[in-house]
Structure 1
């Protein structure tokens, strides 16, 4: 899946780069052909001179004259073929150049994702139970600013969890400069580099193997317990090592804050400056195996930042350390992530609080057409920790999901999902509910 995702977001840039490479290659071929023509012309001149001399020395030697004539004829034909080849190459070069110019005149390609669905729940959640639902309209652009300058702009239109009014969210706005394969420096709003799910599966529903994201890595406005986005700087790169490839992402960004009314508070990533000037740090280091273990990736991730709760004196030093394992082949897709929290209370005397969360997702592809999958999720979150106590989804829970994905085409998918969730409430009671979901998603 990681490979598919990379291909999708690099298609526009790749198409433009392909034109440049084809033009450069055609120009090289022209230079080589012209050099050959020059040598052949010199050879023809030499043979013509030898023919004249031979005719004077031995006008009666018919056999020698025949051989000489054949050599001259062959050289002349070869020269004519090279000239024809140059003419064709020149025409190809002009056509490719005109096509590239025409594409620029047509403007910047626009790509995106969209999804619709149906949800049935066994209990009322946020005042709503069952019915049809509009998903996201996710648009993205990848403008070109040069060979080394990259960019990605992603704009999403979506309804909130309560189905209220369309919200517009600039999910990603990142501009980067590539120094080498080992280093690309990004600036702007990026996906916070932790785990695999948050960095591989973005806002396009068609890309994601399931309908729901794991609850612990849900987006901020959908009740996630970690900042899925960050505004700042991120360095990314990769290098080949013995038996595989070492990759990394390091980010320094505005720390998050907790906003909203009591009982409905969520994480805000501080898009416009930082509320406490305490910058957050995040790191994701992974190793992709090759050879007989091709498809296996193991990694570690870490996150630390100071998070203030708006309207209160609560301050928490959020510290997360964990790891993940991914096995993605033509047949299997297995994703496992673990998060260990050791949060420190900076505003009171409650000390340090330990919590953890993790999930295991497994799916099997049949001819890249049908993919049944299952997922187990569990979170044990300390409610004496101000950070988790403030968040509306900061409660311990466990969830089981069974699903089936059917690829109607390479760019569309139909998914069916059954889920059961058991959440602990503030008063210690349990809230258990079942969900049935159906989703039709496309990309364009």
Structure 2
């Protein structure tokens, strides 16, 4: 049996020669799309399916041509006058056929999931105005953020997620933050392990709405869930190890989270999640449980979460000022069906001073948001927030925004298309440390790509 026939036999060993190739290509495309965001899934999958079909058609045509070429080579008689020359010519043609078939075999087995670096992102711009704004508070037109969301394709069970955010400071300087950088391994639907920097898996908002402004209904996040570099008072980022998975129960799905990582510190009035390494060996440990109902209660989700860690507070000279054992327990309830969006979260904190006083402090913070969609375009919404924070608690005392407050938010969102949203929002904030209400009006245009 000639080498070319041996290679061809490997290709045509199955009763339907191209079935296995088509199946492998389709599976590869499906696995590639699964790792991307829900909006990009459909377009990416369609693109890869089209590529697969073109390749299948090309392979089929080429193999038919090679079969005919090989048959012609074998059937052609050698002229009696030049037997050695004919034999050499046939051998050369067979070698060329074998090389071509080998190249086609390698092409058909190539992993089509390697489509480069899937890159998605978000951007927003806007304008704001405030009545009786505090000194130093700026209004007018402003750039929001440019956020790149990368999901490199490595194939198999390996998952990666990188989020790089560019923002403009109040001084007009552009700064970059590596918001998330996590590498995971999928053992099954019941267990995925992530290692790196991720959004701390507590509550609903912090897991559902990340740094892209277009994906959340409102312009502002609830103040109690602001990011650390925006003056947030809770540790919404963690660098460490995170295990998560889901189980089907009855008509619904149970989701769990277990994680451990570098403890948070307070540096110069702001939370620092220690992404470069733990400064004092204090670790954060936490859990989360959520259940999404199906059937007649489809759209309803309930959850419970908690974390504990020791937090050190440092001044501008990096001198330790206090140590607090932070214990937080949270819960949420969400309904997102039939055009309604109802979200509520409550957090209770029981902190202990590990310094001289040794006192215990209790605080709480909560919000509730309600929105109603009209068609695919319009959604008015309202949110109420309130935080009652013990000002004797060193954890809050050391933070610039660690004060009790209340806020009412009234807004309207208009979806120009599925990837672009125009929002107008009015909010009134009563800050315990300011002593008067602050009224703000904001307009934002946000897109995803």
> Shorter-normalised TM-score: what interval?
0.7 to 0.9
Does the C-alpha gap of structure 1 residues 407 and 163 become closer, same or farther in structure 2, counting only changes over 3 Å? Answer: farther
Q: Please, what TM-score do these two structures have when normalized by structure 2?
A: 0.76
- 1:248-259 alignment, distance < 5 Å: 248-259=256-267
Q: Which residue does 2:328 correspond to in 1?
A: 320
* 2:306 is aligned with 1:297: no
1:125, distance to aligned residue in structure 2 (A) = 3.5
Separation of aligned partners in 2, 1:119 and 1:299: 35
Q: Which residue does 1:438 correspond to in 2?
A: 443
Does the C-alpha gap of structure 1 residues 159 and 9 become closer, same or farther in structure 2, counting only changes over 3 Å? Answer: farther
Q: Which residue does 1:368 correspond to in 2?
A: 376
Name the SS for the 1:430 alignment partner: coil
- 1:93-104 alignment, distance < 5 Å: 104=114
Aligned length in residues: 364
Does the C-alpha gap of structure 1 residues 405 and 345 become closer, same or farther in structure 2, counting only changes over 3 Å? Answer: same
Q: Which residue does 1:204 correspond to in 2?
A: 212
CA RMSD of aligned residues (A): 2.8
Q: Which residue does 2:389 correspond to in 1?
A: 381
* 2:141 is aligned with 1:132: yes
Q: Which residue does 2:123 correspond to in 1?
A: 114
Name the SS for the 2:403 alignment partner: coil
Q: Deviations along 1:268-314, whole A, 9 cap, x unmatched?
A: 00011111101101211101000000000000010111100122330
* 2:349 is aligned with 1:345: no
* 2:310 is aligned with 1:306: yes
Q: Deviations along 1:324-379, whole A, 9 cap, x unmatched?
A: 00001140001000000000101121411000000001100111210000000000
Separation of aligned partners in 2, 1:300 and 1:188: 23
- The 8 Å contact of residues 316 and 343 in structure 1, kept in 2 or not, is answered as yes
Does the C-alpha gap of structure 1 residues 320 and 440 become closer, same or farther in structure 2, counting only changes over 3 Å? Answer: same
1:140, distance to aligned residue in structure 2 (A) = 1.3
Q: Deviations along 1:99-143, whole A, 9 cap, x unmatched?
A: 975x846x3232100000001011233502420111000011101
Q: Which residue does 2:419 correspond to in 1?
A: 411
Name the SS for the 2:397 alignment partner: helix
1:164, distance to aligned residue in structure 2 (A) = 3.8
Separation of aligned partners in 2, 1:10 and 1:216: 29
Does the C-alpha gap of structure 1 residues 13 and 277 become closer, same or farther in structure 2, counting only changes over 3 Å? Answer: farther
Q: Please, what TM-score do these two structures have when normalized by structure 1?
A: 0.77
* 2:15 is aligned with 1:11: no
- The 8 Å contact of residues 185 and 234 in structure 1, kept in 2 or not, is answered as yes
Does the C-alpha gap of structure 1 residues 381 and 432 become closer, same or farther in structure 2, counting only changes over 3 Å? Answer: same
Q: Which residue does 1:169 correspond to in 2?
A: 177
Q: Which residue does 1:237 correspond to in 2?
A: 245
Q: Which residue does 1:396 correspond to in 2?
A: 404
Q: Which runs of 4+ in 1 moved over 2 A?
A: 6-24, 96-101, 123-126
- The 8 Å contact of residues 114 and 155 in structure 2, kept in 1 or not, is answered as no
1:194, distance to aligned residue in structure 2 (A) = 0.9
- The 8 Å contact of residues 16 and 100 in structure 1, kept in 2 or not, is answered as no
Separation of aligned partners in 2, 1:251 and 1:126: 41
Unaligned runs of 5+ in 2: 1-34, 60-103
- The 8 Å contact of residues 161 and 183 in structure 2, kept in 1 or not, is answered as yes
Q: Which residue does 2:29 correspond to in 1?
A: none
